[in-house]
Amino acid sequence: MTVAYLFEDQYFPGWTVLVLKRHATELFELNREERNQLIEEVSAVARALAEVFKPVKINYGLLGNQLPHIHWHVVPRLAGDPAPLEAVWGVKHESKRLAGEKLSETLARIWEQLNPST
């Protein structure tokens, strides 16, 4: 039902976005089964991120103001968070992009939590 990917900017480690595969802009446009499935997928990703990153809290964002399509931000907030009282998109910072081995390692750790038998 969704496609999940690591947000380009990993200033907040583990920030993941789940994008609905079909087009819809509002939750009420989904039927009950789709809404339940969406929450299950968001929850599964959040659980995996919790295992990998050990956050103090996970933030969830479903806004769609700039991109009118259902997509859910799942953001682990770690101990030592540089801006614990701010929303992640309001924090001014230099972009942190993962690449190469670090990106592969991070994705593998998350994948392992999502698919423990593979």
How far is residue 13's CA from residue 99's CA, in Å, rounded to a whole number?
A: 13
The number of distinct structural domains making up the chain is: 1
Q: What is the pTM of this model?
A: 0.93
Q: Report the CATH number at residue 27.
A: 3.30.428.10
pLDDT for 116: 87
Contact yes or no for 45/114 (Cβ under 8 A): yes
Q: State pLDDT tens for residues 71-104.
A: 999 999 999 999 999 999 889 999 999 999 999 9
Q: Which domain holds residue 45?
A: 2-114
C-alpha 23/C-alpha 70 separation (Å) is 7
